[in-house]
Amino acid sequence: MNHDDAFALMMDMLDGEASADRVSDLQSHLRACPECSSEWRALVAIDTLFRQTPALSPAADFVSKTLARLPNRRMRLWAMGTIYGAVLLGGLLPLALLGLLAYRLMPVLSQPTLVESIFESLQTTQRTAGIVMSALITGAGEVLVQQPVYVGYLLVIAGIIFLWGGVYRRLLVMEN
């Protein structure tokens, strides 16, 4: 038996999990190995010390102090119930109203001309947005080509603002 095996066996013995055969093996090893024997004696002393040390109790007014800190659970349950009810109603009521509205307007909404006109207006909006976007991109591209100096100025100003932001943050940290 080597030291590590012996030490593992010592742990089992302290936990009362070693079989009689293994206990006998360990005892033989301990008689032959002063190093393990010394370690085992220290472990037994620690084990005994911890097992013999009683648990500590809190002060006499511990229970009353603890109870004074408890939240009102009944009030909390009531409040939670009210909130859940309100949320449920808040979600169901608009849904019910929408359903009712859709039911009432169904004859009008199902008119083919109305559906077509809605579809057309959506397409027109999409086209307009496309034209505006392409005009903006083209315009920005032209400015970039015709006035590169202004673009350079803008970049330099943005860089200065960015750097100053970093310095300012550092100054704040130093102050704190």
Query: Between 16 and 112, whose beta carbon lies closer to other proteins?
Result: 16
Q: Which amino acid is at 50?
A: F
* Of 57, 62, 50, 3, nearest in space to 29 by CA: 3
Question: Least distance from C-beta 93 to other proteins, angstroms?
Answer: 29
Q: What is the CA radius of gyration of the chain?
A: 41
Applying CB under 8 A, among 11, 140, 154, 158 the residue interacting with other proteins is: 11
Q: How far is the CB of 82 from other proteins (least distance, A)?
A: 15
Q: Are 10 and 35 in contact (CB under 8 A)?
A: no
Measured from the CB of residue 67, what is the shortest distance to other proteins in angstroms? 5
- The alpha-helical segments, DSSP class H, found in the chain are 3-14, 20-32, 34-52, 62-69, 73-109, 112-146, 148-175
Q: Which is nearer to other proteins, 24 or 147 (CB)?
A: 24
Q: Specify the residue, 11 or 140, whose C-beta has the smaller distance to other proteins.
A: 11
Stretch 34-73: interaction string toward other proteins, x if CB under 8 A: ----xxxxxxxxxxxxxxxxxxxxxx--xx-xxx-xxxxx
